[in-house]
Amino acid sequence: MYGYALNSGNPVTVTAVFGAYAVSTAFVVGGGISLFYKASSVIASLDHHRLEPLIMRVSGFVIVLFSGYSVYHSIYESVDLLSFRPVSSLC
């Protein structure tokens, strides 16, 4: 998608594609932050001093887990491990 936008040579297409990416990223990140804030506020209102850090640690673990999967996928799915060549060059 980004390759098409850059190779199209049309500034409107490039701006639309990258603008859509920026707006959607802002919505997703804002939604995630809002959910974490609401979850921590609910836990804080329960007045359980051990639950709030537990929820924050679990959410941090989930973030690290998804980040690790993303890094693993970007490294090992894009390279043929036997020849160390990108998968696209094998076709």
Interval 19-42: pLDDT, tens: 888 899 999 999 999 998 888 888
Per-residue confidence (pLDDT) for residue 2, from 0 to 100: 67
- For 85, list phi and psi in degrees, rounded to 5: -110, 150
Q: Assess whether 27 and 61 both reside in one domain.
A: no
Q: Assess whether 34 and 60 both reside in one domain.
A: no
Which of 47, 63, 82 is the C-terminal boundary of a domain? 47
Q: How far is Cα 80 from Cα 82, in angstroms, rounded to an integer?
A: 6
Is pLDDT above 60 for 81?
no
Q: Assess whether 56 and 91 both reside in one domain.
A: yes
Average pLDDT, the chain: 79
**By residue range, what is the domain housing residue 77?**
48-91
Q: Assess whether 69 and 35 both reside in one domain.
A: no
Q: Assess whether 52 and 76 both reside in one domain.
A: yes
Per-residue confidence (pLDDT) for residue 53, from 0 to 100: 83
Q: How many domains does the chain have?
A: 2
Q: How far is Cα 11 from Cα 40, in angstroms, rounded to an integer?
A: 43
